[in-house]
Chain A
Amino acid sequence: MHPAPSLIVFTTLSGLGFGLMVWLGLGLPVAWGWAAFAWCAIAIGGASIGLLASTLHLGNPQRAWRALSQWRSSWLSREGVLAVATLLVFGLYALLWIFFGRRVEALGIAASVLALATVAATAMIYAQLRTVPRWHMPETPILFVLYALAGGALLALQALAGLVLLVLLGCVQVLAWWRGSTAYARSGSSMETATGLTHHGQVRLFEAPHTTPNYLMTEMVFVVGRRRAAALRRIGLALGVVIPALACLLALIVAVPPVVLALAALCHLAGVVAMRWLFYAEAEHLVGLYYGRRPGDRAAA
């Protein structure tokens, strides 16, 4: 899949923002006044910038409000509804917290649950797609939630939770990569089933329908270099998981200034961007079968 910057920004920032909301809603960290404002601003800002970025992906963003209507069936619609609900509830919670010095526990918990649900709904947009086997796995929503919680924990300066979540995240991410590499094969789809030529030997594309790439190819047939993918995985894991986890460990062992965890959060953000880029770039859409792409096709570089 084409790693569209708008979608990377969207999922990354909104994930972090909503992740932070979870912790803030749970009453962590303890802070008041300007500090509360700063935290809430980060959470709401991240979520909002992310959501706004996602509208850049739309052909007709002026109609985006219509996306709230199909929550019964559509994960994207559910995500929209949940995001709005989360922002409203959390907004109220933040208002009372910042300006009236009251952290209403029920509101906070509701916001946390909603934020978590929003992230899960975002994940389900991807995980529901059978057409992208690497996404169509239980690991996908788990990962999205873990990314949000871990990132949120770092931002909320929760060293212990951060450490646990990051370790868990690293394990699930590696598991997802490992299982993801065979997901396409498990889907059972191939150029032969795609064309129905199941008794005709090995099938390959001879001529594409048109000699220049079309929307489907630019959107869904992205070929990532083998070496680049491996490098990005290492960088992503180091920046997104290992270094922040070490920072958390350090914070647990010795007293460090909060800025260390804040820096760890930034480091984590960079790692998440890399891994989110890979999340799209490595995901192979079945439609590639009609354009000559077999599972696992990789460019050399």
Chain B
Amino acid sequence: MSAEPTVDTSPKVSDEIRRTTCYMCACRCGIDVHIKNGHIRHIEGNRDHPVNRGVLCAKGSAGVMQHLSPARLKAPLKRVGPRGSGAFEEISWGEAMALATEWLAEVRHRDPKRLAFFAGRDQSQSLTSFWAQNYGTPNYAAHGGFCSVNMAAAGIYTMGGAFWEFGQPDWERAKLFMIFGVAEDHDSNPIKMGLGRLKARGAKVIGVNPVRTGYNAIADEWIGITPGTDGLFILALVHELLRAGRVDLDYLIRYTNAPFLVIDDPDTADHGLFARDDDGKPLVRDRVTGAVAAFDAPGVKPALKGEAPGPDGRTVLPAFELMARKYLDGAYAPDMVAERCGVPAATIRRIAAELARTAFEEEIVIEQPWTDWKGERHQRMVGRPVAFHAMRGISAHSNGFQTCRTLHLLQILLGSVEVPGGFRFKPPYPKPFTAHPKPHAGSEPDQPLPGPHLGYPHGPEDLLICEDGSPWRIDKAYSWEAPLAAHGLMHMVISNAHARDPYGIDVLFMYMANMAWNSSMNTGGVIDMLTARDETGAYRIPKIIYADSYSSEMVAFADLVLPDTTYLERHDCISLLDRPICEADAAADSIRWPVVEPERPGHAGVRCFQSVLIDLGGRLGLQGFVDADGRPLYADYADYMVAHERRPGVGPLAGWRGAGEVHGRGAPNPHQLDRYIENGGFWLSEIPEEARFFKPWNKAYQDWAVSMGFFDAAQPFVFNLYLEPLRRFQLAAEGRAEPQPPDHLRQRVREAFDPLPTWYPPFGDEGAEAGGYTLHAITQRPAAMYHSWGSQNAWLRQIHGRNPLYVSGDVWREHGFEEGDWAYLSSPHGRIKVPVALMEALNPKTVWTWNAIGKREGAWALSPRAPESRQGFLLNHLIHELLPPRGDGLRWSNSDPVTGQAAWYDLRVRIEKAPPGEEIAEPHVPAQQSPVGRGPDMVKYGEGWS
């Protein structure tokens, strides 16, 4: 026997570790980038970072392949072939900036609204919106309308925050956790970490999702619900809880508007609004004295039931009684909803009982005294250890806004929001809708907008509609078609601009939004619109500027391409002004910084898009970007991150302000970025112990939030179970308030704007069964792939290089499918040909696939024979921005009538077996040329330097 070989068990790992923020998805984890011999040796999670605490997902771990992607753009591009062809010439940055400035200045001088500026998965919306506001176009938003605006808007309106960036389950203390409609959506690592902690503690996890993959696969119980019926299922739980009296009355009285008195005076303009005192404060009735008083009057003991005359003699009754009447109705009984939801009635009853038992019999206590907003001192913090989380599965439906409201209703009835063991807000949330701005529009030549674009209307008077009722915005956000469109409607921009409805635009300027492919419904239609010409032969959308880091599908449709850096080559701030990385126990923000230099040898090179935008702001002389003499205020994005002040003392980054000793509010600190880098790329400030729960009503929290600069004054509030703004829209629809919706929308607004959380069938269901579209079709994001980006990644594309359509065992057998078969999948809008695969752990009426795997041939520097473009496919082709014609001469938008969120999970389909033939997914969009060539045949990462 010879001796064992000697293994070097202590090789040098790296010369240096540079800590920055990941951007392989929207999760914003901290990463340690190991640099060795000038190369990236390894990327791993930052153990100190609040988001990921050291862990990192597949995408983040594959960052080096993204950074070295052959699809990276190398220079500004000017289109030389027809749109969509991908034929470009490389130009200098000087020429590119001059061209962009010329186009943008001309439009700004003529009619600023003829610029539509939309950012996709942008994490710098506080900058991009600031730029757009100062440019003066009303047409700005990011991708939220396509993503999860129902969730965000329902959460903000109901309780001042929703999931993900707004709040999180109390992973450490929850004993029962229900997760609705979540695949690998936002907050991917925190959810995985949280589930792991729940599992380690033996807490029960219930997954509600038509598909039993990922988180649902490890759930202790799986509810394979039928898509679009979550709200109905939740209201059946509410029905059971109310029937049994298992709700937290003390919580409802203290912290919600359940006791507020609602005017019951049909045929008047305030029927259904709250009765208020002279100061405008909502009234409650004292259950002991029977007298009415302001809801926050000292010592009042509000009643939750009882009709009686109000101060002006009209009948008033507590909102809670209206709730009880609505939800105790037999229509919400488990037996009535079971079949529609695909969930047995016995299961609904059992889950209601488990929720009640855990919330009320396993309550937990933290011995931490605290003081509420009324000055009452509480000796302990009592918690209801039932936590919930939800995402797109419930929000991307035409009933999504109200469905999200039903979930918040359930959380609040159980008294499990902002209590130990329940759902917890992350600073700067909670923030009631009344503390958010209202939306603004306008279009004055060479003038900024009067205020921010996006906000929260309080009633129809806040809509952005012109005198004639036509929408101000190109996407029709905040019109009667989408009154509470809190994130704008990016998915409508191209089709409306093409239709010149409400008006045409001259320049479409987009960032990080793959609208010509997976980020649009109706992909084929959008491609046609982007290439459509008018009677003069000019493009209907005359000029398109697009910024991206990679040779995506959308690049091929731009006239001018501004190449962005990769995430490891750039500055960024994940700001408290935007969508920060806070935790329930701490405020935090973070940066990116160039851990490697952007090098594109032999080409003009790339620039961080935000620096380009700031440069454009300077060239255009936009307020906020130039000083009084018209000189640019900021050298680049890094300079802006440090020097910009949105309000005195409040800038993009909260840490180490002033001389480095103050946080939150303070003067700009020129050495701020160095301090961030020293600290691992982030800043964190813990919330005082006393302020960690009951945040909306906790005096210590409110004071702390003011000191940090989140608000300028304390703003305690109650949760809006009964949402009065919705009632105001209803009143307008009923003809009792101004402005009023157009006649064809009255009925829809009346139904959808129920001030109490409600459920109605998704619009996509209408006529579906009769038309033979008996199946639901949805997509899920795979854990190892984010949007389009993963396909250029040599490691990740091996995991998901193609996607089958998964069909249930029932469908599989009914159609006689066998392994390797292909099928035609049809919706009222189109037909695609796809490979099929069997999945038994699936709602029997549902088919699904992984999203954004399919690619256009020629994109992303892939071979023309790449499986992504031959067997990969998108469901998007089957989904239209509009609903099928109803025969009323109108085309109805395929979206939530409250927020305008794209209702892509409403999709109904039918399936048929495809005869044997060529195994290529249809439709097959003809190839685009690659402005960056093709990737190499072989990758041997590490060879020669490791």
Chain B hits for A211, CB < 8 A: 798-802, 867
B839 CB-CB contact with A under 8 Å:
yes
Chain B hits for A210, CB < 8 A: 798-799, 801
Q: Using a CB-CB cutoff of 8 Å, which residues 203-222 of chain A contact chain B?
A: 206, 209-212
Q: Decide: B867 and A212 in contact? CB cutoff 8 A.
A: yes
Max count, chain B CB within 10 A of own CB: residue among A206, A210, A212: A206
Chain A hits for B802, CB < 8 A: 211
* Residue in B798, B800, B839, B867 whose beta carbon sits within 8 Å of that of A206 in the complex: B839
Chain A hits for B800, CB < 8 A: 211
Closest to A72 in B: B1
User: What does DSSP make chain A's interface, helix, strand, loop or mixed?
Assistant: loop
In the assembled complex, the CB of B784 is this many whole angstroms from the nearest CB of chain A, namely: 10
Chain B hits for A209, CB < 8 A: 799
In the assembled complex, the CB of B88 is this many whole angstroms from the nearest CB of chain A, namely: 31
Question: What's the Cα separation between A206 and B799 when bound, in Å?
Answer: 14
Chain B 799-841, CB-CB to A under 8 Å as 1, else 0, gives 1111000000000000000000000000000000000000101
Q: Decide: A212 and B839 in contact? CB cutoff 8 A.
A: no
Question: What's the Cα separation between A194 and B801 when bound, in Å?
Answer: 26
Question: What's the Cα separation between A212 and B802 when bound, in Å?
Answer: 9
Q: Using a CB-CB cutoff of 8 Å, which residues 116-171 of chain A contact chain B?
A: none
Question: What's the Cα separation between A212 and B800 when bound, in Å?
Answer: 9
Chain A hits for B867, CB < 8 A: 211-212
- Chain B's interface size range is under 10
Chain A hits for B839, CB < 8 A: 206
In the assembled complex, the CB of B867 is this many whole angstroms from the nearest CB of chain A, namely: 7
Chain A 51-90, CB-CB to B under 8 Å as 1, else 0, gives 0000000000000000000000000000000000000000
Chain A 205-244, CB-CB to B under 8 Å as 1, else 0, gives 0100111100000000000000000000000000000000
Closest to B1 in A: A72
In the assembled complex, the CB of B821 is this many whole angstroms from the nearest CB of chain A, namely: 13
User: What does DSSP make chain B's interface, helix, strand, loop or mixed?
Assistant: loop
Closest to A210 in B: B798
Closest to A208 in B: B799
In the assembled complex, the CB of B820 is this many whole angstroms from the nearest CB of chain A, namely: 10
Chain B hits for A206, CB < 8 A: 839, 841
In the assembled complex, the CB of A94 is this many whole angstroms from the nearest CB of chain B, namely: 35
Q: Using a CB-CB cutoff of 8 Å, which residues 861-875 of chain B contact chain A?
A: 867
Closest to B212 in A: A206
In the assembled complex, the CB of A19 is this many whole angstroms from the nearest CB of chain B, namely: 35
Question: What's the Cα separation between A267 and B841 when bound, in Å?
Answer: 54
Max count, chain B CB within 10 A of own CB: residue among A209, A211, A212: A211
Closest to B797 in A: A211
Closest to B2 in A: A69
Closest to B872 in A: A211
Question: What's the Cα separation between A279 and B801 when bound, in Å?
Answer: 33
Question: What's the Cα separation between A5 and B799 when bound, in Å?
Answer: 30
In the assembled complex, the CB of B245 is this many whole angstroms from the nearest CB of chain A, namely: 40
Question: What's the Cα separation between A210 and B782 when bound, in Å?
Answer: 13
Chain A hits for B798, CB < 8 A: 210-212
Question: What's the Cα separation between A152 and B674 when bound, in Å?
Answer: 81
Question: What's the Cα separation between A211 and B841 when bound, in Å?
Answer: 20
In the assembled complex, the CB of B184 is this many whole angstroms from the nearest CB of chain A, namely: 14
In the assembled complex, the CB of A31 is this many whole angstroms from the nearest CB of chain B, namely: 45
Question: What's the Cα separation between A212 and B795 when bound, in Å?
Answer: 12
Closest to A206 in B: B839
Closest to A69 in B: B2
In the assembled complex, the CB of A1 is this many whole angstroms from the nearest CB of chain B, namely: 21
Chain A 181-212, CB-CB to B under 8 Å as 1, else 0, gives 00000000000000000000000001001111
Question: What's the Cα separation between A211 and B849 when bound, in Å?
Answer: 14
Chain B 85-108, CB-CB to A under 8 Å as 1, else 0, gives 000000000000000000000000
Closest to A202 in B: B840
Chain A hits for B841, CB < 8 A: 206
Chain B hits for A212, CB < 8 A: 798, 801, 867
In the assembled complex, the CB of B59 is this many whole angstroms from the nearest CB of chain A, namely: 15
In the assembled complex, the CB of A45 is this many whole angstroms from the nearest CB of chain B, namely: 35
Q: Using a CB-CB cutoff of 8 Å, which residues 332-351 of chain B contact chain A?
A: none
Question: What's the Cα separation between A206 and B808 when bound, in Å?
Answer: 12
Closest to B806 in A: A206
Chain A hits for B799, CB < 8 A: 209-211
Q: Using a CB-CB cutoff of 8 Å, which residues 835-860 of chain B contact chain A?
A: 839, 841
Question: What's the Cα separation between A212 and B801 when bound, in Å?
Answer: 7
Question: What's the Cα separation between A212 and B799 when bound, in Å?
Answer: 8
Question: What's the Cα separation between A209 and B798 when bound, in Å?
Answer: 9
Closest to B871 in A: A211
Chain B 777-801, CB-CB to A under 8 Å as 1, else 0, gives 0000000000000000000001111
Q: Using a CB-CB cutoff of 8 Å, which residues 159-204 of chain B contact chain A?
A: none
Closest to A212 in B: B801
Question: What's the Cα separation between A206 and B217 when bound, in Å?
Answer: 12
Question: What's the Cα separation between A211 and B839 when bound, in Å?
Answer: 16
Question: What's the Cα separation between A17 and B837 when bound, in Å?
Answer: 49
Closest to A211 in B: B801
In the assembled complex, the CB of B850 is this many whole angstroms from the nearest CB of chain A, namely: 10
Question: What's the Cα separation between A209 and B800 when bound, in Å?
Answer: 9
Question: What's the Cα separation between A206 and B800 when bound, in Å?
Answer: 14
In the assembled complex, the CB of A211 is this many whole angstroms from the nearest CB of chain B, namely: 4
In the assembled complex, the CB of A174 is this many whole angstroms from the nearest CB of chain B, namely: 32
In the assembled complex, the CB of B839 is this many whole angstroms from the nearest CB of chain A, namely: 7
Closest to A214 in B: B798
In the assembled complex, the CB of B382 is this many whole angstroms from the nearest CB of chain A, namely: 40
Question: What's the Cα separation between A206 and B802 when bound, in Å?
Answer: 14
In the assembled complex, the CB of B766 is this many whole angstroms from the nearest CB of chain A, namely: 34
In the assembled complex, the CB of A210 is this many whole angstroms from the nearest CB of chain B, namely: 5
Question: What's the Cα separation between A209 and B799 when bound, in Å?
Answer: 6
In the assembled complex, the CB of A14 is this many whole angstroms from the nearest CB of chain B, namely: 28
Question: What's the Cα separation between A4 and B183 when bound, in Å?
Answer: 42
In the assembled complex, the CB of A250 is this many whole angstroms from the nearest CB of chain B, namely: 49
In the assembled complex, the CB of A69 is this many whole angstroms from the nearest CB of chain B, namely: 8
Question: What's the Cα separation between A211 and B854 when bound, in Å?
Answer: 13
Closest to B782 in A: A207
Closest to A209 in B: B799
Q: Using a CB-CB cutoff of 8 Å, which residues 202-216 of chain B contact chain A?
A: none
In the assembled complex, the CB of B160 is this many whole angstroms from the nearest CB of chain A, namely: 40
In the assembled complex, the CB of B210 is this many whole angstroms from the nearest CB of chain A, namely: 16
Question: What's the Cα separation between A13 and B540 when bound, in Å?
Answer: 72
Chain A 253-297, CB-CB to B under 8 Å as 1, else 0, gives 000000000000000000000000000000000000000000000
Question: What's the Cα separation between A209 and B802 when bound, in Å?
Answer: 12
Question: What's the Cα separation between A210 and B839 when bound, in Å?
Answer: 17
In the assembled complex, the CB of B582 is this many whole angstroms from the nearest CB of chain A, namely: 35
Closest to B795 in A: A210
Chain A hits for B801, CB < 8 A: 210-212
Chain B 251-293, CB-CB to A under 8 Å as 1, else 0, gives 0000000000000000000000000000000000000000000
Question: What's the Cα separation between A206 and B841 when bound, in Å?
Answer: 10
In the assembled complex, the CB of A132 is this many whole angstroms from the nearest CB of chain B, namely: 24
Question: What's the Cα separation between A2 and B512 when bound, in Å?
Answer: 46
Question: What's the Cα separation between A211 and B798 when bound, in Å?
Answer: 6
In the assembled complex, the CB of B215 is this many whole angstroms from the nearest CB of chain A, namely: 16
Question: What's the Cα separation between A206 and B840 when bound, in Å?
Answer: 9
Question: What's the Cα separation between A211 and B800 when bound, in Å?
Answer: 6
Question: What's the Cα separation between A211 and B802 when bound, in Å?
Answer: 6
Question: What's the Cα separation between A210 and B799 when bound, in Å?
Answer: 4
Question: What's the Cα separation between A212 and B867 when bound, in Å?
Answer: 9
Chain B 65-88, CB-CB to A under 8 Å as 1, else 0, gives 000000000000000000000000
Question: What's the Cα separation between A192 and B450 when bound, in Å?
Answer: 66
In the assembled complex, the CB of B58 is this many whole angstroms from the nearest CB of chain A, namely: 12
- Which 10 pairs between the two chains have the least Cβ-Cβ distance? A211-B801, A210-B798, A211-B802, A210-B799, A212-B801, A211-B800, A212-B798, A206-B839, A211-B867, A212-B867
| 15 A-B contacts (beta carbon < 8 Å) | A206-B839, A206-B841, A209-B799, A210-B798, A210-B799, A210-B801, A211-B798, A211-B799, A211-B800, A211-B801, A211-B802, A211-B867, A212-B798, A212-B801, A212-B867
Q: A209-B799, A210-B799, A211-B799 are in contact. List 8 more A-B contacts (CB 8 A).
A: A206-B839, A206-B841, A210-B801, A211-B798, A211-B802, A211-B867, A212-B798, A212-B801
